[in-house]
Amino acid sequence: MAKYNQTTLTRIELEESLVQHCNPVELNKIMSAYELSESVHEGQIRGDGSAYFYHCTRVCKILLHEIRIVDVDVLAAALLHDVIEDSPTLSISVLEYNFGRYVAYLVETLTKDLERREVEPEDVDKEHIELLKQSSSDCLLIKLAARLDNFRCLEFNLKSNPHQYIQETEELYIPLAENSDIPHLTYLVLELKKERNKFLG
């Protein structure tokens, strides 16, 4: 059995999971998002040695299989949540043209200015948190699902300082959803705490 950080959501699994919930146009949109994400992240490797694209598919998988979200826009944005940061040529306008305004909005909200973050990490993170507070709850849903996937990969040496990553998540991101009346966010908070406790012992 593959270690968690080596698992992925395959194209076939995605299609089979959604075929009963989507019309052909919606299904084509999500499969196009899958292919674009795979293309952008091709050859990129995470700190644990796994393919970066696997992370994007698992974020989608958490939303689809664990929370039972079948909203194509949310799932497409989950697959695409890092493409702007990781592509020198892709733009929000291109995403909007291909996937619609809402998907582009979700990805744009989830995108940090990584060059600026190298110089002003605290300012960029603070602005990102403020943006999430004012944005659609779907943005936070994807963000926490991505953090949850990363938590589940900490045991495979994903982060050079896992304790700092956990602390950052607890101080910055969990409070955004801790008292939410949205069950999906409550689930992700509980799972994050469960993974934190498992890692910290």
d(CA 110, CA 179): 21
Per annotation, catalytic residue among 13, 71, 85, 96: 85
Per annotation, catalytic residue among 13, 15, 86, 168: 86
| Length of the chain in terms of residues written | 201
- Among this protein's residues, is 48 annotated catalytic? no
- Among this protein's residues, is 71 annotated catalytic? no
Alpha helices in the chain (DSSP H): 11-18, 24-40, 52-61, 72-80, 83-86, 92-99, 101-110, 114-119, 121-134, 137-153, 162-168, 174-177, 183-200
Catalytic residues: 85-86
